[in-house]
Structure 1
Amino acid sequence: MRFKLIIVLLVFVPFLSTAQDKKSKADNLFYGYQYEQAIVAYKSEMQKDSLTNHQLLNLADSYFSTGSYDSASELYLKVNKNDTIMSVNRFNKMLQSLSKNSERDRVRMYLKSKADKLSPELLENAEFNYSLLEIPSNTDNSVIRHLGVNSAQGDFSPAFYKNGILFSSSRGRNSKNVYEPTGESYLDIYFARISSNNNLVDVETFNEIPATDFHKSTPYFSEKLETFFYILSNEEDGELRYDENGKNALAIGTLTKNDRFRFILKDLSTSFYYPFLDDATERLYFAANFDDSYGGTDLYYVYTNNGQIMSAPINLGPRINSPGNEISPYVFDGSLYFSSDIFYGLGGMDIYKSNILPNDSYTIPVNLGEGINSTADDFGFILQDVENTGLSGFFASNRTGGKGGDDLYGFQLKNAPGLKTFALGGKVVNLRNKVGLKGAQVRLLNQQGDVLKEVIAGNDGSFRVEVPWMSQVTIQAMSDGYSIFSTTYSEEGMEEIQNTAYNMGLARMEDLVTQREDKTVLKLNKFYFDKGKSVLNAQVEEELKKVVDAVVRFPQMRLRIQSHTDTRGSSSSNKRLSQQRADVIKNYLLSNGLNSSNIIEATGYGEENIVNNCINGAYCLDFLHKQNERTLFVVE
């Protein structure tokens, strides 16, 4: 009963069309959602003739829908091995079947073997959530409450409205026709008041949205626009409208405070589900199955202006959308909550949370874990901040112990659900020309120096990495022939940098050195101590910072500090002054990150190595004398 009320119940396709008359009895039962009868019929037909791969996949889907995961996985694997007709959505079902049979390690091995054919986002999402599910959930199951307003039919898709919630239900009403494929009433919208103990009471039909003989469901109310967004069957003059294939799809309509109704997203061949308007951005989120879908239903948004559609649908991309089905988008406090039946969850539809980043990208969706999620379908998650009590909300689930197919559940939490993560994105670039470094390694290390995550930068040097939150992280970048970048941040710094594009510059050794006096030396600007002194001034410190930076980038670098003076003054005093200056430089470097292994020697040569003709007794202009006053950092 996985999508009975989520997807199947909402789309009606007549099964008496000419094209479908050519199908076998088992096919017609399958397309009529009568999966148990379809299994019996397919088995019978197999005795007479072999099934096509399409029919084998239909049989696999039937096993999957009735919970026979062993049989389902066997058929999916068989077809996947011998043919290429399997859709990405069925690929997801194949892996779900294996996961349902506690073969998670087999799934991980399968993903590893197909890594070159799968999106990096899917692989990263899977590995992250597999690791996450090994951590005990921090959600106390006692905070999840079954609600008394549930019926023996399906109740789902809660949405806050005034002092209560709106929700969808297929509970029977005399005024509603029966939806033939399921034998239940067409969906309608109901209202329940939230009591003082956060329960739901006083259920009644919601009459502020005009009645219809067909589906009316999954409402959302925008307080900013004072407008209802909801889905309803495509109809005209009280009659359902069908596309050329006999399909009646669902549209999104709005009803304003002035009782003005209009369709805003409508296509006879495409159904739209679960509208949600983010008042802050005026983005209308929804689920649909367009041609650019990554699997089944994907999440999209359109830009709106006072409820008017202002853009084409924008797919949220492979970080959010998967080979499975994504539904029920909900934005709260900068995070996107949604449900997905992707194979790496607990089972069925699970609720996930992803942070929305400033550049319109998303962090890895995090499974909310056991409690809110179960091995059944969990979806339609909403929450709000209630003064003095923390966070409270509702969701729907068809987990065991319920009253009907899908039931409403309530919860209260002290903190936002879901594991907090540290996500960082940016580029690794050549420090000199800012060109991205393809293939650079980016690593995150914990406080103990253990590598938490390592990724490879893309063609333009771009990278993205994400790990569970911690109190400290070290970020490193490296590339063959280049220096090492390494910086450590505490929590405050982590909060700051993850909201920006984080670029790391790496230097090549040849860009940092030059040849002087037949030696390889660090490339620095000429600097001078104050006359006759060995105290660091601002000019000297500025250049010494470059020395520190060079050694930090190349930790194995070994230097000889060689300090020289001109010939003015006695040779003994010049020798002593140059040694003092060399020692002061060495002490500065050691106190600013270098260690003794980086400095082979620090020697003052006084006036021993004059580079021009300004020897003792010779008359020279000041700038010629200054050519002899120098400090070299010789690279060994």
Structure 2
Amino acid sequence: MNLKNYVVHLSLCVLVSSMMYAQDKRLEKADESFNRFAFVDARKIYLKVAESGYESLDLFKKIGDSYYFNAQLEEAVPWYEKLTNNYAEEIDPEYLFRYSQSLKSVERYDEADQIMEKFNTLTGNDQRAEFFMNTRDYLKFIEMQSGKFRLLKLSVNSKYSDYAPSFNNQGQLIFASSRGGSGMSKTVHEWNEMPFLDLFVSDMIQTNGILQTPKKLKGKINTKFHESSTSFSQDGKTVYFTRNNYTKRKLGSNTQGTILLKIYRATLDEDKWTNIEELPFNSNEYSVAHPALSADGKKLYFASDMPDSRGLSDLYVVDVHEDGTFGSPTNLGDKINTEGRETFPYVSNSGRLYFASDGHIGLGGLDVFVAVPEESGALSIPYNVGKPVNSDEDDFTFVLNEDTKIGYFASNRSGGKGNDDLYSFKQTDELITECNQYVTGIVTDATSKDKLVEAEVILMDDRNNELQRTVTDNKGRYKFDLECDTPYIVRATKESYNPTETILATNNVLEYEHSLALQLTEGGLAGKEVKPGDDLAKLLQLQTIYFDLNKSFIRPDAEIELQKIIATLQQYPDIKIDVRSHTDSRADDSYNMNLSERRAKSTIKYIIERGEIDKSRVTGKGYGETNLVNKCANDVDCSDEEHQLNRRSEFIVIK
């Protein structure tokens, strides 16, 4: 290299080095902003770096997250897309979940579902993935659930953020807004560059949900930091509310210097809120927020990321004692909480728990769900409340007056006035809040394929206890209502045919119809001469009842055949049978005799107990290896399949 080229080369190296140094400094500054949740400031730098042609896994993650955590999911899509396309083998599976959620915000549901399938493959035991795999037709259910609310006009929204409505039980609605007051806004919050939130009150017209001009809540609740999400006692004199960690004019933070959220309680003195106190289960190290008081005032629900939470935030409940003290918070468990966000709970007067979640399967972002109280006192699985409350954006802070059917919620959907907007609604129909599954089918002749009219179809539980019974209509059809996630046996019988049955297991899909066609083969005992000594199994053309090696329990395939024996004994109450059980020749003779005796007893017990057959009609005995059906005697080399032919039971007619 000559001197001239060397000088040029050196100059280029210095230039590139300087550019890299400047870029590193910019990213370092952006990371500092990002780590203190100043997402907007961080994003401005990240985007400039990206525009210069720089690419990295970390850069795409943080640009995507800066939009995702500000609920701008549609803006996050291209960055998560770059992330998954360019760094598929390196990204944390959590980014697949975020990408799927973001795709829903632009209604790319097929792609979102494909990403969730990958998420399920990589995580294996993530509850969000499990919910998705169990409710693959979630869009169908949401469509069925939709249309049960009618949106009403509301004119109180500002160009800022308005959300977290709650009833103060004195004819007014309280909500959080960053619109400021008295012509002045609070300090801008770094997270989203919006002014801090205050609590406002608006008189409410009960008949149509219209709100009067809002005013700031009086008293010492509002500060220069965030206040939001309130819940009031039935007499309206006690309020629980969320605030930044700001107590007695002192701002608190966790060990990383982040200011988190706490729940406070205040009491009403004439028309002002006083006696503000923070709740004892708050912490500087995690957030406790969004209180929801039960109608009787005995339980307080809230959201938190305390140490035993499953995800970004979980829902909890704590007992409120008569003297105003509290019990220990309890996590609502895996039925309600996921690895995602469960937040903004609301408890209606009937005890229904409404909340927002992005962990349960919805339309995108946060959706509103409802869990209803069951007879046991537990809460049901959550049900998506459908459109128009839910959309492909964030929908949250749902409240409902069950007497007037008027309610409110917040959303950042397009078409609003501000960052988040309040919406009012009228409930026009009851929500689907139970799992509805069915089985339908047609019973036909297995040979001719003719539809069989008035064939009897019986629904049984997995212990063969009869649950329902019906006959096929003039088109051979039948139908049963089923419970979710439950095993069943469906049996079909008709005179001159052999009975048949099929095992059916329902799933967790909230609204689902199983199709189960049943075919009957000609046979049965109709028109046949039955005499002592006949093998009922052969007359009915049943499969042989086999047992596993050295075992006496009834196998699932044997249960199906035994049910046909039971059906015949029920149809012909005069028949008596003798159960004769046999073994193969392996093991010694005395062992096999004892084993066959156990098999005979096991078979007899099954017929008597499951079929409710009088025990005087069923006798039996074990014969060991004394009646082999093939050459496989002692010391004869036979395959397992050949030996299995001898492990059987016979059903000999004795009357």
Separation in 1 of the partners of 2:122 and 2:65?
27
* Residues 508-519 of structure 1 aligned to structure 2 (within 5 Å): none
Identity %: 24
Deviations 1:104-141 (A, max 9, x none): 34444555563694448535533565524225356549
Instruction: From 276, 279, 289, give the equivalent of 1:261.
Output: 276
1:286·1:327 contact (CA, 8 Å) conserved in 2? yes
Equivalent residue, structure 2, for 1:167: 175
Question: Counterpart amino acid of 2:391?
Answer: S
Q: In 2 relative to 1, CA 183–81 (structure 1 residues): closer, same or farther, beyond 3 Å?
A: closer
Q: In 2 relative to 1, CA 180–398 (structure 1 residues): closer, same or farther, beyond 3 Å?
A: closer
1:229: how far off? 0.2
* Residues 151-166 of structure 1 aligned to structure 2 (within 5 Å): 151-161=158-168, 162-166=170-174
Alignment of 1:292 with 2:308, yes or no, is yes
Instruction: From 186, 209, 223, give the equivalent of 2:196.
Output: 186
Q: In 2 relative to 1, CA 402–117 (structure 1 residues): closer, same or farther, beyond 3 Å?
A: closer
Alignment of 1:104 with 2:119, yes or no, is no
1:562: how far off? 5.2
Deviations 1:444-475 (A, max 9, x none): 6435589xxxxxxxxxxxxxxxxxxxxxx996
1:494: how far off? 8.5
Q: TM-score, normalised by structure 2?
A: 0.60
1:276·1:330 contact (CA, 8 Å) conserved in 2? yes
Question: Counterpart amino acid of 1:77?
Answer: T
* Residues 124-143 of structure 1 aligned to structure 2 (within 5 Å): 125-127=131-133, 130-134=136-140, 136-137=143-144, 139-140=146-147, 143=150
Separation in 2 of the partners of 1:75 and 1:309?
51
Q: In 2 relative to 1, CA 105–255 (structure 1 residues): closer, same or farther, beyond 3 Å?
A: same
Separation in 2 of the partners of 1:111 and 1:204?
44
1:169: how far off? 0.7
Separation in 1 of the partners of 2:387 and 2:469?
32
* Residues 322-471 of structure 1 aligned to structure 2 (within 5 Å): 322-332=338-348, 333-342=350-359, 344-359=361-376, 361-386=378-403, 390-416=404-430, 418-422=431-435, 445-446=438-439, 448=441
User: Which sections of structure 1, spanning at least 5 residues, go unmatched?
Assistant: 1-19, 424-443, 451-472, 506-516, 522-549, 565-592, 603-631
Question: Counterpart amino acid of 1:304?
Answer: V
Alignment of 1:271 with 2:271, yes or no, is no
Question: Counterpart amino acid of 2:339?
Answer: P
1:486: how far off? 4.5
User: Which sections of structure 2, spanning at least 5 residues, go unmatched?
Assistant: 1-23, 444-456, 471-479, 490-531, 537-558, 577-609, 618-650
Question: Counterpart amino acid of 1:57?
Answer: K
2:159·2:179 contact (CA, 8 Å) conserved in 1? yes
Instruction: From 177, 196, 199, give the equivalent of 2:186.
Output: 177
Separation in 1 of the partners of 2:45 and 2:96?
21
Q: State the secondary structure of the residue aligned to 1:37.
A: helix
Equivalent residue, structure 1, for 2:467: 487
Separation in 1 of the partners of 2:48 and 2:123?
35
Q: Which moved more, 1:58-67 or 1:199-208?
A: 58-67
Q: State the secondary structure of the residue aligned to 2:137.
A: helix
Separation in 2 of the partners of 1:139 and 1:57?
34
Separation in 1 of the partners of 2:129 and 2:389?
24
2:128·2:360 contact (CA, 8 Å) conserved in 1? no
Separation in 2 of the partners of 1:123 and 1:369?
20
Alignment of 1:24 with 2:28, yes or no, is yes
Q: In 2 relative to 1, CA 224–80 (structure 1 residues): closer, same or farther, beyond 3 Å?
A: farther
Q: TM-score, normalised by structure 1?
A: 0.61
Q: Which moved more, 1:305-314 or 1:375-384?
A: 305-314
Q: Which moved more, 1:70-79 or 1:238-247?
A: 70-79
Q: In 2 relative to 1, CA 82–142 (structure 1 residues): closer, same or farther, beyond 3 Å?
A: closer
1:38·1:59 contact (CA, 8 Å) conserved in 2? no
Q: In 2 relative to 1, CA 103–216 (structure 1 residues): closer, same or farther, beyond 3 Å?
A: closer
When the two chains are superposed, the root-mean-square deviation of aligned CA atoms in Å is: 4.4
Matched residues, number: 457
Equivalent residue, structure 2, for 1:577: none
Q: In 2 relative to 1, CA 494–277 (structure 1 residues): closer, same or farther, beyond 3 Å?
A: farther
1:69: how far off? 4.6
Separation in 2 of the partners of 1:489 and 1:96?
45
Alignment of 1:243 with 2:254, yes or no, is yes
Question: Counterpart amino acid of 2:388?
Answer: G
Q: In 2 relative to 1, CA 448–231 (structure 1 residues): closer, same or farther, beyond 3 Å?
A: same
